[in-house]
Copies of this chain bind each other. A is one copy, B any other.
Amino acid sequence: MRPDTAGAHVLSREECIGLLASAPIGRIVFTDRALPAVQPVGFCLDGEDIVIRAVEGSAVAATRDAVVAFEADDFDSRTRTGWSVTAVGYARAVSDPVEIARLSALPLTTWVPGGGTLFIKIPAELVAGRCIRH
């Protein structure tokens, strides 16, 4: 870890992936009708790819074939410590039935009933993370 210009510590790619794997929820960041948009989603990692499930026709489903960011964090407001990790990658919808069957077996929780049948994968092409420790 090394300090960044804002006084936090810069995390390595390996640390970032480990922290992403520990997070129960993340946030997909995209553009929706020319406006910046963000939505919390359940997710899991498949290797270093982020996997989410989306409802067909939803704004999240429309992120397929776009460059998106994906963020997870955990902060403790009492100790004022925490971390955040952001991955950026080209989202794609999974269409291969063999891959869909494999992803269906992952421990991927969705937070709303139904939860969506469309699998979207976001490879963590760029990863950046910071942590604050006092």
Contacts and interface: CB of A to CB of B under 8 A. Distances in A.
User: How many chain copies?
Assistant: 2
Provide the main secondary structure of the chain A interface: strand
B75 A37 contact: no
Contacts of A55: 5-6
B111 A82 contact: yes
Given A6-B112, A7-B113, A112-B7, A35 B75 contact: no
A37 B114 contact: no
A82 B39 CA distance: 13
B84 A36 contact: no
Interface of A: 5-8, 24-25, 27, 29-31, 35-40, 55, 57-58, 67-69, 71, 73, 75, 77, 80, 82, 84, 86, 88, 109, 111-114, 116, 126, 132
